Amino acid sequence: MAAKEILELAPLDLFWAYGALLLAAALAWFCRIGQARDLLWGSLRMVLQLLAVGYALRWIFAASHPLPTLLMLLVMCGFALQIMVGRLRHKLPGFYRIVSLSLFAGCGGVTLYFCLLVVVPSPWYEPRYLIPLAGMIIGNSINGACLAVERLVAEMTERKAEIETALCLGASPRSACQEPLRKAFRAALLPTINTMAAMGVVFLPGMMTGQILSGTDPLIAVKYQIAIMCAIVGSVALTSAVLLLQAYRAYFTDAHQLRY
Amino acid sequence: MVAASESVLQLNGLGKIRRNEQGKEVPVLRDVDLTLQAGRITVVIGPSGGGKSTLVRLLNRLEEPSSGQVLLNGQDVRHYDPLQLRRQVALVAQKPFVFNGTVLHNLQRPFAFQGHTLPTEDDPQLLELLTLCQLSTDWLQRDARSLSVGQQQRLCLARSLVTGPKVLLLDEPTSALDRPTVTRLADSLREVCYKRRLAMLLVTHDLHLAKIIADQLAYLEDGRILEQGLPAELFARPRSIALQSFLALPAGMQD
């Protein structure tokens, strides 16, 4: 890279950075909001997780072999699933099958598309590109997917009378819950749309900031940001759509009866 | 009354067991036999919680019976495609649900659901049906949710009939209506039933409605049909003590 070398953070620098966090913890303790402990515990987890990932990535980059890269992607997907379990447990019947399939189709599909047409790393598994791209795509997609499911569950419960009325009028389950599906899809896309609208003017997105900090020309960073944002929107939409189109079925029997 | 009607919907030994909140299995319906005939109105009366709503929901397969079977034109309803079954066996729920939008939009929804072209505002059949259900043809562009409950109920009735079902099931159609409105609705129902040769089942605890509308009457209590026959006979000479005491309750207290 043509730009200047990035400033290295010494352990002492990090210690001072941690000071800001301790300030927050002190404030939380002082105001008795009961979150000081959570805050410290959360920060400890963050440090450990990031350090682990840092070492793992260094090893994967050095190995430069498709296997560790794919393994890393698999681990990321596992954690994504884990996070979704935490948010959606007991809510969606047939959870694992539906969610893994939609994550695979949405995130996998868009990541593949992206690597074949947009960024085209060489070799194809180049972890320096593949892992952060997939990470951002998966991270945003699980958020959208969770919102979609939460909304669907709420709508399906609330609109029972409407759905049964439609069934009685000869509607298929799919058209009977068209409104819940629409609402859920909208809920999934909304945060991403808002983020796009605020991008650049309100906040500088993390990836772009990172690239700029590491000395990349801001215009290159911006181009990457635009591309990744498009990938995120596509993946959120695809993941949520595949998820919703399976999830609503879990509410009906083969005889088009609403399960309670 | 129409003589020599053919049977359209037949209930054979229908039973339903439900799990209550304590997880115990409770029979809601036991061994119900009933036959609905074209052009005739069958009324099932009985106290609330006696299994009437459940009975109706089993007939268009919104729920599955635990035992027995339902035959539509001699064939088990389980052998029908659920879409086709519900297009032939219409159900109007106790609480009318109208879709957001105009009256016309509500009447078009069944066509949209069933993949037919939508009728327009001046469709003669649509206007005829509106009149039959005592809804003004000027209301087509009105917001359906601005109608009174009684009007909404008649709209739901019209909406269920608009695609021409063979069987009509009505769950407590008069629960929210006053006496004159009930009488008017009963007139509409009779006319619809005879004109379209519908097999109609109406479940209610409203004895007044049962008296003025039933061609055939059955008394359901505690999930069992205790008596059935011609309404005049049942009202004049109830055999079971349960029906005797049900009929003896002052009007409006049968609930």
Q: How far apart are CA A26 and CA A36, in angstroms?
A: 7
Contact B205, B254 (CB under 8 A): yes
Statement to judge: residues A57 and A85 lie in one domain:
no
Contact A193, B136 (CB under 8 A): no
Contacts of B109 in chain A (CB under 8 A): 166, 169
Task: Tell whether A150 is covered by a domain.
Answer: yes
Q: How many residues does chain B have?
A: 255
Statement to judge: residues A124 and A213 lie in one domain:
yes
Contacts of B91 in chain A (CB under 8 A): 168
For residue A225 the two structure tokens come to: 């940001």
DSSP SS3 for A210: helix
Q: How far apart are CA A259 and CA B63, in angstroms?
A: 9
Statement to judge: residues A182 and A237 lie in one domain:
yes
Q: How far apart are CA A99 and CA A154, in angstroms?
A: 18
Per-residue model confidence (pLDDT) at position B27: 93
Statement to judge: residues A211 and A230 lie in one domain:
yes
Per-residue model confidence (pLDDT) at position B253: 54
Task: Tell whether A246 is covered by a domain.
Answer: yes
Name the fold adopted by B7-248: Rossmann fold (3.40.50)
Give CA B21 to chain center in angstroms. 28
Residue ranges making up the domain that contains A56: 1-63
Does the structure show a pLDDT above 50 at B68? yes
Q: At which of A63, A89, A111 does a domain end?
A: A63
Statement to judge: residues A45 and A170 lie in one domain:
no
Q: Judge if ipTM > 0.95.
A: no
| Domain tally, chain A | 2
B122 in A contact zone (CB under 8 Å): no
Binary contact (B160, A172; C-beta < 8 A): no
Binary contact (B109, A255; C-beta < 8 A): no
Does the structure show a pLDDT above 70 at B66? yes
Closest by CA to B251, choosing from B160, B150, B165, B182, is B182
Per-residue model confidence (pLDDT) at position B250: 62
Task: Tell whether A256 is covered by a domain.
Answer: no
- Alpha-carbon distances of A21 from A24, A25, A41, A43, A115, rounded to whole Å: 5, 6, 11, 8, 38
pLDDT band of residue B5 (cuts 50, 70, 90) is low
Statement to judge: residues A199 and A211 lie in one domain:
yes
- pLDDT, tens digit, for every residue of B118-161? 999 999 999 999 998 888 999 999 999 999 988 898 899 999 99
DSSP SS3 for B166: coil
Q: At which of A12, A40, A63 does a domain end?
A: A63
pLDDT band of residue B49 (cuts 50, 70, 90) is confident
Q: How far apart are CA A253 and CA A199, in angstroms?
A: 44
Closest by CA to A232, choosing from A117, A115, A106, is A106
Beta-carbon contacts of residue A244 (< 8 Å; ≥ 6 apart)? A148, A149, A152, A181, A184, A185, A188
For residue A192 the two structure tokens come to: 């991403």
Per-residue model confidence (pLDDT) at position A33: 85
State which residues of chain A have pLDDT below 70.
1-5, 90, 260
Task: Tell whether A73 is covered by a domain.
Answer: yes
Nearest CA in chain A to B58: A257
Per-residue model confidence (pLDDT) at position B48: 85
- pLDDT, tens digit, for every residue of B215-225? 999 999 999 99
Contacts of A162 in chain B (CB under 8 A): 97, 99
Q: For chain B, what are the domain ranges?
A: 7-248
Question: What interhelical angle do A218-247 and A109-117 show, nearest 10?
Answer: 150
Contacts of B173 in chain A (CB under 8 A): none
Contact A80, A103 (CB under 8 A): yes
